[in-house]
A and B are shown apart, each in its own frame.
Chain A
Amino acid sequence: MAISISRWVQMGLLVLAVVLPLAIQNNFYLDVLTIIFFTAYLGQSWNILGGYAGQFSFGGVMFFGTGAYASTILWTTYGIPPIYGVFVAILAGAIVGLIVGYASFRYGLRGSYFALITLAFAEMLRIIANSVEFTGGGVGIFLNFEPSIMNLQFINARGFYYLSLGMVVISIIIAMWLERSRFGAQLIAIRENEDAAEALGINVLRSKILAIMIMGGMGGAAGTFYAQKYLYLDPPIAYSIALSVEMLLVTIVGGMGTVFGPLVGSFVLHIVTEVAKHLIESPGLSLIVYGFILILIIAYLPNGLIGLFKGLSGKRGK
């Protein structure tokens, strides 16, 4: 019974999200919502490897950046429209995931070592992108604004809003599938105890690599979306450490290993940021408020905001 109620709530929120742009004419609010969805989507990609499989990456941006470059270069240099390019971006992200996953999991890197190696890979890719010709080097690449579905560009904020909403819905569907599939159960088993998982017949190496490839593919698509919306790409943007941090932050705040954690975390953090910006005059102070709220959540809600909801509803009293 309780499950069906939360299903209704979810459907209601989805319908609300779909009709919202009809009510909101202000592009600013739609843009904020678009960024919230975009970050939630990236958070979900991090969540699959970090939240479900328990492998914390600190360089999630490497898939995003590689995907962004892949579809952008295909478009600007070879004239292949991004609606096809996005699939190349997904593939490119997944391949980077395969390489990084194999290189690190094959040798049993875990915990902070894995986190650091992903950070190193992301930095390496940034430096490569900075020094080779076809990425435009440090100058970057300017994209043309030619709104059409083929180019995944839209005249107004509404189009990008719906695209980001679609992405976040897909990411949630992936997480829901994980929660009820064998693959998801195996990832969780790996997170909880790798040796026991291996003993029970789970191919730990293969499962981890698959998880990082899913993360990579999702990240790649996000790269295409970003480039088509903001029309400029250079190495510090494509491989920004800040974005790596943001995707893990929204997930940790919302609740790791939960379907809605990244979305909830993204909402809360962005709204806190926006409100703090409006209420507090001096620019630095809003960051302090942001940091303070982060500390509170991490200190008192180890299971994230979703954990708080679950605790209140007494579903898993812990």
Chain B
Amino acid sequence: MALLLDVKSISKSFGGLKAVSDASLSVDEGKIVSLIGPNGAGKTTLFAIISGFLGADSGSVFLNNENITGMKPHRICDKGMVRTFQITQPFASLSTLENIMVGAYKNTSLKAKAKQKATEVAELVGMTHLLNTEANSLTVAGRKRLELARALATDPKLLLLDEVMAGLNPSEIDEIVNIIKIIRDSGVTIFLIEHVMKAVVNLSDYSYVLNDGVLIAHGTPKQIANDPLVIEAYLGQGAAKAMTKNTPTKAKASKTSKKGGKS
């Protein structure tokens, strides 16, 4: 399994606050890897560093064995890694089609080709009926999909998805989980930040857990859900102990952490 993304001991402080400290992780080609953790854990900061939007204090990022640390985001996009934003950033006064075309223009200078690519991507993410809708008037779910579609239209090797499911209702989540699986099956590797635990367990091949800027655990979603450190991170100190005392079964533990994840 080829290593696509390799993050080596990234640290970043904002003034006295250590947002990320010594975080190392890797993403294998063809997988769906997730990064989870409580609010304020530093997930988005780490994403911003990986995608070139933020400089790291120390550490390095390798994409396909190439050092991309400190590269500008558009150069990193050229290399095949593209991110979406947690707070959606649509081109507000443009239509869905025009939004996606901006991504599609990455690989063609011809309007007709960009249009064709954008239409295909829109179909993949289920936005065909919204092509002429102004991005401004899309619903939250629509905007999340638009983020995904625009990024996908650049034909990336690796997609960084920052909470594409936040704020969606269960049926919308199921839809987007399916879409992400289809994207993975088409050969795109996916690295995602997520709060919706059900989706994480459902989707990921591998997970990393970030708490207070430190990676405290990694493994398959099932391993993670039973890790006492992870449970404590979500529910507070002593929670793991209390839980193993009362309900030591696996199922219960993962259910509780699901609850925590939503908060």
Complexed CA–CA distance, A199 and B85 (Å): 9
Interface residues of B in 27-62 (CB under 8 A from A): 51, 53
Nearest CB of B to A76, in Å: 43
Instruction: Give every chain A residue within 8 A of B92 (Cβ-Cβ).
Output: 192-193
Residues of A in contact (CB 8 Å), total: 21
- Count of interface residues, chain B, beta-carbon cutoff 8 Å: 32
Residue B78 interfacial (CB < 8 Å): yes
Query: Per DSSP, are chain A's interface residues mostly helix, strand or loop, or mixed?
Result: helix
**Residues of B in contact with A (beta carbons under 8 Å apart):** 51, 53, 72-74, 77-78, 82-85, 89-94, 98, 101-103, 105-106, 108-111, 114, 134, 150-151, 154
Contact status B73-A198, CB under 8 Å: yes
Is there contact, CB below 8 Å, between A192 and B94?
A: yes
A181-B109, A188-B91, A196-B91 known; 7 new pairs, CB 8 Å cut-off, are A182-B110, A192-B92, A195-B89, A199-B53, A200-B150, A200-B154, A202-B74
Minimum Cβ distance to chain A for residue B235 (Å): 34
- CB-contact partner of B98 in A185, A195, A318, under 8 A: A185
**Chain A residues closer than 8 Å to B84, beta-carbon distance:** 199
- CB atoms of A189 and B85 under 8 A apart: no
A200 B114 Cβ-Cβ under 8 A: no
For A186, A188, A200, which residue has the most chain B Cβ atoms within 10 angstroms? Answer: A200
User: Are A201 and B85 CB-contacts (below 8 A) given A185-B101, A192-B93?
Assistant: no
Residues from chain A with a CB closer than 8 A to the CB of B82 are 199-201
Q: Is the CB of B89 within 8 A of A196?
A: yes
- The answer to whether residues A193 and B90 also contact, given A198-B72, A198-B74 and a CB cut-off of 8 A, is yes
Which residues from chain B contact A185 at a C-beta distance below 8 Å? 98, 101-102, 105, 111, 114
A99 CB to nearest B CB, Å? 21
Return chain A residues, CB-CB under 8 Å to B105.
Answer: 182, 185-186
Expressed in whole angstroms, the minimum distance between the Cβ of A205 and any Cβ of chain B is 8
Whole-angstrom distance between the alpha carbons of A189 and B106 in the complex? 12
Cβ of A297 within 8 Å of any chain B Cβ, yes or no, is no
Chain A residues contacting B72 (CB-CB under 8 Å) are 198, 203
Whole-angstrom CA separation of A195 from B91 in the bound complex: 10
Are B111 and A189 within 8 A (Cβ)?
Answer: no
Q: Which residues of A contact B151 (CB under 8 A)?
A: 199-200
Nearest CB on A from B10, distance (A): 19
Q: A197 in the interface, Cβ–Cβ < 8 Å?
A: yes
A200–B94 touching, CB < 8 Å: no
Which residues of chain A (182-236) have a CB below 8 Å from chain B? 182, 185-186, 188-189, 192-193, 195-204
